[in-house]
Structure 1
């Protein structure tokens, strides 16, 4: 197969699968549908609440809106396909669908770190330079930072896939349960992938370097400012606000670390490796809207208002029907 190229238009790959009995598959399908439905509902509710309330059209909520959009891209890129494969036991995937899935995963990973970096900068300005916050973090400036994050993400990921797709394909079997750039590269006829490997390490360093630097720099100054502040209420409010963002960042980073650790232990069950390989697009998108919904007072208040209006409307319709 190495010396025989595959026509790109006719390329159909075969994905790996979970090795489990039918009873366990039914449980896995149920859990997968439950996780995806919950993440979809929570993120969509958050998006609607932010979009429908002009009082939430502020820098922090605009960033949160884009983070939720990105979370939906990530979890939608993997979970529905994996559930479908378990349900119908059809693991074939055409090249365009495979590339789209891989793009969603890589775009999600890069945009998460870039958006969280902008959020860290936003918190830094709000707490360390409160008098200049509305001058620095105007809506226009925030929109430009958000647009820049997406543009940089698409450009870096686009070049990564351009380097991979320049090679013809010689193999059709993917070891993992979803497509990513590394899986696609292994299917090509390439004999020298040095450029791809170096560029892959480069963009990984760029994304994680920006993310770690922004968080460490911002929170070092935030902590320094908070400890200098003698007003206990202001200090507690600042730390509470930052704790939410920091928790979201740590969940994403720990999800990635777990993947690395699981694959470093040869004795770990293959199904565990495959499940944990999806953890970075399952845990953050599922937990982020809940964390922000619980921890952010304005969002909590708006959600209560929406719930109250919905309840009154239902009760009014019921009473009219009676």
Structure 2
């Protein structure tokens, strides 16, 4: 009974449907992982080395890049190994660890983006008080909130999931997901559902509502300002808006498919939709901020070897 209610391994069944595509998929995902690591490290190094970029907005961008590295490290190594393996078994501790890392990554992304929205709100709506409000102490508190709150909430969810007796060990996905494990339970999951709903409301809908509120206030302020001021606000707020929209869409896709019987859906559609929120934001965020924010873009261009050579020629 102990072995059946608490299996030592979980079987990720969706890999069977990838079949002969696994080798091209491995090469593509390996290159993608390398690009994520490289691009986010460049953003972190540029901001950390340039004293002119030691401001709250850029500090939160570093937090976003660190989170991208954290989430990618929790997903890609195991996923790449499974692509080349004939058996797709993952141990119980490894599965729950992967769930914790991927879901805290998801929650961190939302809280960091919310904190960045607050920073932009103060900068645009209260520019004269920006430096008095966004002090180093305040920035540290906001960053601590962005990291600690999701960790505490996810620990609670994990505790409720780990204690469930399970009637099966088959997870119809390419990575461990909390709801997929909960659905294997032999007993009622009402408490898990209630707590999950509360956590989703706290970490998804409240940040969404707050970001929409702050940008509504920013738009109202910009309506009364000059074209030059509007262009400057647009330049600094656009990357954050794009990042938030990308993450909201990809996160919604994962939540939506988790409520369906995945075995009845097209396996390739399931794999693509379930991978979006762990792949697309870490790939696009560094490019969005690196290309859209002129200060970061300028310092990145200085690092390019051909740019250096052109300076030497002149």
Q: Shared topology, TM-score over 0.5? A: yes
Instruction: Quote the residue 2:174 is aligned against.
Output: 177
Instruction: Quote the residue 2:66 is aligned against.
Output: 69
Q: Which runs of 5+ in 1 are unaligned?
A: 316-322
Distance 1:8 1:194, change over 3 A: closer
Instruction: Quote the residue 1:318 is aligned against.
Output: none
Distance 1:52 1:255, change over 3 A: same
Distance between the aligned counterparts of 2:169 and 2:286, measured in 1?
Answer: 38
Distance between the aligned counterparts of 1:168 and 1:52, measured in 2?
Answer: 50
Instruction: Quote the residue 2:31 is aligned against.
Output: 34
Distance between the aligned counterparts of 1:152 and 1:232, measured in 2?
Answer: 39
Kindly report which structure 2 residues correspond to 1:1-322, keeping only aligned pairs within 5 A, or say none.
Answer: 4-6=1-3, 11-16=8-13, 17-22=15-20, 24-189=21-186, 191-229=187-225, 231-259=226-254, 268-308=265-305, 311=308
Distance between the aligned counterparts of 1:159 and 1:31, measured in 2?
Answer: 36
Contact 2:4 2:167 in 1 (8 A): no
Contact 2:6 2:166 in 1 (8 A): no
Q: Which runs of 5+ in 2 are unaligned?
A: none
Quote how far apart the aligned CAs of 1:183 are: 2.6
> What's the secondary structure of 2:296's corresponding residue?
helix
User: Could you tell me the TM-score, scaled by structure 1's length?
Assistant: 0.88
Quote how far apart the aligned CAs of 1:239 are: 1.6
Cα deviations by residue, 1:177-200 (Å, 9 ceiling, x for unpaired)? 1112223323444x1211111000
Quote how far apart the aligned CAs of 1:310 are: 8.7
User: Could you tell me the TM-score, scaled by structure 2's length?
Assistant: 0.91
Distance between the aligned counterparts of 1:147 and 1:8, measured in 2?
Answer: 38
Distance 1:121 1:61, change over 3 A: same
> What's the secondary structure of 1:14's corresponding residue?
strand
Q: What RMSD, in angstroms, separates the aligned Cα atoms of the two structures?
A: 2.5
Distance 1:260 1:9, change over 3 A: closer
